[in-house]
Amino acid sequence: MDTRNIYGEFSREEIVISLDNVGVSYGPDHRPDDYKSQIYNTLLRKGKNSDNESNMFWPLRNIDLVGYKGEILGIIGSNGSGKTTLCKLIAGVLQPDEGKIKVNGRVSALFSLALGFNKEMTGRENVYLNGTTLGISKKKISSFVDEIKEFSGLKKYFDQPIKNYSSGMKARLGFSVAAFIEPEILILDEALNTGDLEFSQKAAEKMKELVAKAKMVVIVTHSLKYAKTNCNRLMWIERGVIRGMGNPEEIVKLYEENVQQIKNKTKNNKKGLDIGKVETQKGEKKVIQSRNVGISYRLNREQHWALKNINLDIYEGEVVGIIGHNGAGKSTLCKLLTNILVPDQGELIIDGKTTALLGYGTGFNGQLTGKDNVYLNGMLLGIPRPKIKENYANIVEFSELGKKIDDPVKQYSNGMKSRLGFSVAAFLEPDIFIIDEALSAGDLSFNQKASGKIQEMIRMAKAVIVVSHSMGFVEKVCSRAVWLNQGQIMKDDIPKIVIKEYREYVQSVKKA
């Protein structure tokens, strides 16, 4: 049986998506999204027909897929396996080089963190921008713009520029726009990786409504738990080919077994790499001291406190988890601790060099190669060029990007950016290491590998601060947890107690 989950059965009578032996290819001088290069090569008669077949790279090949009305189809696989390329084919962003595609319905696609948003425009303005781009009249958009504002939970931020949003807030708005424009086929490509517990539950319910009145939802995710809970069928894609299709529980089991086999074959994985609490001794020395710290800015002509009255002491040897809903102030706190922001009130004392991994590849220049970005990010963090050069080979090897390190970052998937961003930060030997949702786009295999590296860093660093929406991760890894809400500390205690109170709060808000 491959048609049942919490949503029941879906119909196999109406085919919505059909892919017959589909493939996408490019040669050494070709990239699917590099239109200028394609035109140039065509004019010089250097098109794909002139490329030697042995030099062609196929990110997808021999793809056969049938999608049915009423189903939520999940797609899993490692970073760079072809998941995003497949979504772009279904959405019509890319055209296949072989095979046929039939899509019966209007597609709305949300690629990662609401790509396509204009960061200088407000959330409201971006709703109109995205809606009109998809061919929806301004009058119709106006009829549901208030519903989008309400569903997204952005409140005052809805009329603020996107550049002031956290990654989670972008995810909220992006999903809300995509869900309320009444798509017949909705594609979510890693779009909810940074969503908080409360919003993830709302999004799951909304998808249930969508498939009831629309045609189909396609979800790309690295969260295997989410895939098993919310999908009717699951596809596992690896190196451009379908490795499995069917019941989510069975496909996840196959995928996990494959990751385990790869892990067992890797020489560096002799130790258990699944991260757990590292035995560190909490010292008496404070590495971070925060006294009544606050950060404010003007919001709709009023003073808004992104953080207020933050009193926080972090001691040597601690691993502190920061939790809370999107927009609670978590990323602002991280930027404060890395001197990206300075407090408007209070006193902040930091003893040591801080390295932060904010989001996946935040700060990368899309036009530059991965190699150039390694040096750029290292120097921005104050690392001398000779030291970066000394560690460069280790960074590339750990990231597992291989030859792709010489490609522009704009061609990387979010997972590939996550790999590279983590690898750069991991080899800088910081005193205080901050991880802000940095591995939310990482695949299972790399996250296990990264877990081992984090364990090393926890042992070497004075303190580690982890921002995450994964309550299980925080409870398993951290010695202490801090819950932020509306810029203030709600609870500071051992993870089990803090997470329990946070979950109770989320459920009370949901019922209200």
Q: What is the pLDDT of residues 288-331, one digit of tens each?
A: 999 999 998 776 677 788 899 999 999 988 889 999 987 788 88
The reported pLDDT for the residue numbered 91 is 86
∠168-498-317 over CA atoms, to 5°? 90
Backbone angles phi, psi at 160, to 5 degrees: -110, 155
**Mean pLDDT value across residues 139-163:** 87
Numbered ranges of CATH 3.40.50.300 in the chain: 59-264, 286-511
Instruction: Name which residue leads in pLDDT, 386 or 52.
Output: 386
**Mean pLDDT value across residues 429-458:** 69
The reported pLDDT for the residue numbered 40 is 38
Whole-number Å distance between alpha carbons of 363 and 357: 10
Burial of 138 from C-beta contacts in 10 A (0-12 / 13-18 / 19+): exposed
Angle between helices 495-511 and 197-213 (to 10 degrees): 40
240, HSE (Cβ side, Cα atoms, 13 Å): 12
Measured over the CA atoms of residue 447, residue 448, residue 454 and residue 456, the dihedral's sign is negative
Residues 323/500, Cβ–Cβ less than 8 Å: no
The reported pLDDT for the residue numbered 279 is 59
pLDDT above 90: residue 138: no
Mean pLDDT of the chain: 79
Convert the pLDDT of each residue in 416-431 to its tens digit. Answer: 787 888 788 777 666 7
Token pair belonging to 108 = 């709305």
Residues 50/84, Cβ–Cβ less than 8 Å: no
Q: How confident is the model at residue 7 (pLDDT cuts 50, 70, 90)?
A: very low
Instruction: Name which residue leads in pLDDT, 253 or 214.
Output: 253
Topology of the domain covering 286-511: Rossmann fold (3.40.50)
pLDDT above 90 as % of the chain: 21
pLDDT above 80: residue 283: no
pLDDT above 60: residue 115: no
Whole-number Å distance between alpha carbons of 249 and 233: 9
Class of domain 59-264: alpha beta
The reported pLDDT for the residue numbered 177 is 82
